[in-house]
Structures are given as structure tokens and as C-alpha cells.
Amino acid sequence: MQRNKNIKIFINYFLGPILFLWLAFSIYRQIEAQPQLEASWLHIKQAIKSYRLWYLLAAVVLIFFNWAIEAWKWKLSIASFYDVGFWSAFKAILCGVSFSVTTPNRVGEYFGRMRYLPDGSRLKSISVTLVGSWSQLLVTVFTGMIAFIFLKADLLKAQYVSEVFYEFILFSIFAGGLTLTLLYFQTAFIGKLLEKWLQQTRFLYLVQTLGTFEIQLLIKLLLLSFLRYLVFVSQYYLLFALFGVLVPVTIVWNVLALLFLTLAVIPSISLVEVGLRGEISLQLMGLYSANSLGVGLTSVTIWFLNLVLPAIIGSILFLGIKLFKGENEV
């Protein structure tokens, strides 16, 4: 008993601060490595002195809505086994961001979020968090597929893809999206199958919550995911306007849909994703705008607003959390 207590004291009061320093250092190194960040900051300071300040302020306000929607999704997802308050959910999401930005495909977010749950509920949250991410992926896949159809002529003209390869990609996106949709709306059934498979194991409790995902809840998660998608697009459009990338909103919508779809299927680490995001944005938006600098600055600023700032706040919040709160940790 005393040994376990000493281990928990070590983790709470020594490992916690060490993890915070690691997160802070990782974020700092990635910020320092971004070549366009200084130029972005200079443009922002110039915008502050003009009417374009409102574009920046609106984009900053949307940071809150972005993560507030994700917090509400998570709150709904875990409601079957724990009634978390909205602000606790919001802080959990930010804490998750701080871990996700330094891990491949943001897998670290699960660890960050579960720190705000009580003993006995933490590991249960992994499977339901996956369902929330699944709903966001579905929105990304289908909006990306529609954009791929609308931009067909421009993509073929620019020789980004051949006619045959285009048809193959479109079929793959459709087949993948349809499969994901069918499985998504069978979450409860999949949960029941997993329960039978794991019935005699100690991992049963990890999947039991999947059986609580009724159709109404799954639809709510999809609607919230689409609303969050609208926030993403709105932020981009505002920052394109801020940096002088004057492109019709329909083009912005379709280009971003392809960008988000590409980022969803390519494994990456969030903090270094800005380079990939910027390159894809330049290639796609370059078909409609010659303002390459503005496109690049928008990518860097979006990355900073939606990931770096929340990650910094989340890492500070993490510093104040006791990793273990009791003796009955699952």
C-alpha cells in the first residue's frame, strides 16, 4: 500500500511537471521552426491598424466555438457512464490537444482527456472518444468527395491526376465513406459483438459503453461535427480575406474540403502538419489565386490559432491536474 502511494506521489508531483516541460519544449521548438510565422505576425500587426482587424478577431473568437463544439460532442459521448460538466469537458479537450500535437495522428488526445474523468471511468472514455472522431471523419470524407467531383475539371487540367487515377480515387473515397457510414450506424451492434468476444476477459468494460450509442445520439454527433466543420471553413475564409487571398466562397469550400480529406488520410504529427497543410493549400488554391504568400500565411496562422494556442493552454491546465486522484484507478 505504501509503495503504491509513493508511486502515485511521484507521478503526481514529479512526472506531471516533467510532462508539462516536455509539452512546452516541443511546442516551442515547432513554433521556432516555422519560417513563415514571423511574416504572418507582421501581416497581423499591419491588419490591426486597418479594418481587416475584424477578420482576425472573428477568427480568434471561432477558436472557442471550435473546441466548445468538440467538448459538447465528448460530453454527449461519455454521458452514459459519467455526467461531466461542460467546462470540465472543455478543459479536458484542451488538455487532450496539448498531448495530441506531439503524437502521430493525435492519438495522445485520449490520454489528455481522460485526466479529467474520475477513477473507474478513464479507460472507458477511449472507445466513445473514437466514435466522436469517427463522426468528424465521416463529415470530412463526404465533403471531400463532393469537392473532388466539383473540382474534377480543374484537377485534370492542372494534371494533378490522370483521368483513370481520378476515377480510382473517387471510387475509393465513395466505397470507404459508405463502409464507414454503415459501420458508424451499427456502433451499438459492434459493441455487442465485442462484448461477447471479450466477455471472459478483463477488457470487457472498455467496450460496454459502445452499446449505448443509439441512432439519435449518432446523428447528434454528426450534426455537431458538421457544425465544427463550418467553423473550420469560416476561419479559413476570414484569414484568406485578412491576407488578401480573394477567392469565391464556393472555391474556398471545395479546396478546403480536399485539404481536410488529404490531411485525414495521411499520417502526420499535428505540430509538423503545418508544412504539409501549407503545401497542399498552395497547390490547390494556386489554381485560383496567385497570392501564394497569403495562402501560406493563412495556413500558419490557422495552425497557430487552432492548435498551438489551445495546446499551450492545455499544457498549463495539465500542470495543475493530479494524475491519480485515489486508490481505485482503473
Question: What gap in Å lies between CA 254 and CA 268, rounded to an integer?
Answer: 22
Most confident of 40-44, 76-80, 96-100, 248-252: 248-252
pLDDT tier at 219 (50, 70, 90 boundaries)? very high
Q: What percent of the chain has pLDDT over 70?
A: 74
Read off the pLDDT of each residue in 222-240 and give the average, rounded to a whole number: 95
Q: What local confidence, expressed as pLDDT, does residue 12 receive?
A: 42
Higher per-residue pLDDT: 12 or 65? 65
H or E element that contains 227? helix 215-242
The pLDDT tens digits of the residues spanning 114-170 come to: 777 877 777 778 888 889 889 999 999 999 999 999 999 988 888 888 889 999 999
The pLDDT tens digits of the residues spanning 269-311 come to: 554 555 666 677 778 888 888 777 788 788 878 888 888 888 8
Most confident of 14-18, 35-39, 44-48, 94-98: 94-98
The pLDDT tens digits of the residues spanning 185-200 come to: 998 888 888 877 877 6
Cβ-in-10-Å burial (0-12, 13-18, 19+) of 186 comes to middle
pLDDT tier at 3 (50, 70, 90 boundaries)? very low
Q: What local confidence, expressed as pLDDT, does residue 54 receive?
A: 87
Q: Say if residue 227's pLDDT is above 90.
A: yes
The pLDDT tens digits of the residues spanning 21-57 come to: 554 555 455 445 555 556 555 666 666 666 678 888 9
Higher per-residue pLDDT: 176 or 124? 176
Rounded to two decimals, the pTM is 0.81
Between 249-265 and 125-150, two packed helices, what is the crossing angle to 10 degrees? 130
Read off the pLDDT of each residue in 202-216 and give the average, rounded to a whole number: 79
Our CA dihedral for 260, 112, 61, 146, rounded to 10 degrees, sits at 20
Higher per-residue pLDDT: 18 or 236? 236
Measured CA to CA in angstroms, residue 168 lies from 162, 163, 178, 256, 282 at distances of: 10, 9, 15, 21, 24
Q: What local confidence, expressed as pLDDT, does residue 309 receive?
A: 85
Question: What gap in Å lies between CA 313 and CA 310, rounded to an integer?
Answer: 5
Q: What local confidence, expressed as pLDDT, does residue 232 receive?
A: 93
DSSP conformational letter for 268: -
